[in-house]
Amino acid sequence: MKIKSIRFGMLRVPLKTPFKTAMRTVKEIEDVVVIMETDTGHIGYGSAPATAVITGETHGSIIEAINKIIFPALIGRDIEDLNNLTNTIQGAIVRNFSAKAATEIAVYDLYGQLYNAPLYKLLGGGDNVITTDITISVDYIDKMVEDALDAIDLGFETLKIKVGKDPALDIERIKAVYNAVNDRALIRLDANQGWTPKQTVSVLRTLEDSGVRLELVEQPVRGDDIEGMKYVTERVHSPIMADESSFGPKEANELIRNRAADIINIKLMKTGGISNAIKIADIAAVYGVDCMIGCMLESSIGVAAAAHIAVAKASIITKVDLDTPSLGQYDPVKSGVRFNNAEITITDLPGLGISEIGNLTMLDL
């Protein structure tokens, strides 16, 4: 099975409710879709959203990096030569992590199809059912409480509450949601870099003293402030998780070695794809540090790939934050991964098992 050609499409899915974090408000999922064609007629799919504020990439930069730099190095190559293909992808261009991720996802999809097995089985296998949390956007307190209770009614057992706007108001938001939830779900916080290190310690100590128990607190301070992450991690009881501070295996390793975070959030769009996500999980396993697998606000193509990794590395990826397919008004992607609110199940379809992508607007390059 040799790589022959590549095409691109755009996939848009309107959200049920606007996604609001300390950094941005988004109303729809909008992904570049990579369609990788082979000489055997098999097609591999990958995707990437533009998250300029996190990876520095736009739809245009993702397409350009793949079409002009990464893909030309892959033409004519054998899918069975997986490790060399991922090395080529990672070495073709510096940074551009989401472009690399979209390309790797398509290559791994084809690798699964070549051996007629779902990707997670080729990555080592595991229990094919995992459970995700759901995101509660930052908003008025009443709205956040209402969203939290709705999520519990849908069967979610873990809520990821977006905060990081204003420390005093955030404390009120968290207390209100925590009290309304009343032990029916675990509470994770994601401050999306919205607090300073001192504010974080103050907020978390106030919450801890008032009896609010948090499963973890994600990226309270600026991503590039590793000292700040360490400062917070040393001073609070709540486990601190690195998201925007952790990109590839090197950054994850440094965070772990410096004890600057208790947990690492792995996202394919930050690691540059599946090969590095596996490396991070393996590094974390060496040190006994738990990982979360997360995703950007992105289509269920990339999220499906993340689900396969979560299953194969479940012993160290103990937390799953793959809720974006259930945030969309519908899911135009039919794949081997079934997203049913909190429950994610992987079927035996080969690779990612993608059979249909509705609403895909093909690009003429």
User: What is the contact surface with Mg ion in residues (CB under 5 A)?
Assistant: 190, 218, 243
- Considering the complex, what minimum distance in angstroms separates the CB of residue 301 from Mg ion? 20
Task: Kindly state the greatest CA–CA separation across the chain.
Answer: 63
- Considering the complex, what minimum distance in angstroms separates the CB of residue 54 from Mg ion? 9
- Burial group, residue 76, by CB count within 10 angstroms (0-12, 13-18, 19+): exposed
11 close to 332: Cβ distance less than 8 angstroms: yes
338 close to 345: Cβ distance less than 8 angstroms: yes
Is 334 catalytic? The answer is: no
22 close to 51: Cβ distance less than 8 angstroms: no
- Considering the complex, what minimum distance in angstroms separates the CB of residue 162 from Mg ion? 8
- The residue with its CB nearest to Mg ion is 243
Output 121 or 162, the one with its CB closest to Mg ion: 162
Output 190 or 298, the one with its CB closest to Mg ion: 190
Task: Give Cβ neighbours of residue 250 (< 8 Å, ≥ 6 apart).
Answer: none
The span from the CA of 183 to the CA of 158, in Å, is 10
Q: Which residues pair with 198 in a beta bridge?
A: none
Output 8 or 156, the one with its CB closest to Mg ion: 156
9 by DSSP, 3-state: which? Answer: strand
Tokens, residue 32: 């570049």
- Considering the complex, what minimum distance in angstroms separates the CB of residue 191 from Mg ion? 9
293 close to 241: Cβ distance less than 8 angstroms: no
Output 148 or 264, the one with its CB closest to Mg ion: 264
339 close to 302: Cβ distance less than 8 angstroms: no
- Considering the complex, what minimum distance in angstroms separates the CB of residue 349 from Mg ion? 30
Apex 110 CA angle, 107 and 115, nearest 5: 130
- Considering the complex, what minimum distance in angstroms separates the CB of residue 38 from Mg ion? 35
Output 104 or 321, the one with its CB closest to Mg ion: 321
- Considering the complex, what minimum distance in angstroms separates the CB of residue 13 from Mg ion? 20
The span from the CA of 239 to the CA of 73, in Å, is 42
CA 29 to chain centre: 14
Output 8 or 19, the one with its CB closest to Mg ion: 19
89 close to 81: Cβ distance less than 8 angstroms: no
**Active-site pick, 20, 121, 267, 313:** 267
The span from the CA of 221 to the CA of 223, in Å, is 6
Is 162 catalytic? The answer is: yes
Output 86 or 276, the one with its CB closest to Mg ion: 276
**Active-site pick, 20, 100, 160, 162:** 162
Task: Give Cβ neighbours of residue 121 (< 8 Å, ≥ 6 apart).
Answer: none
Residues identified as active-site: 162, 267
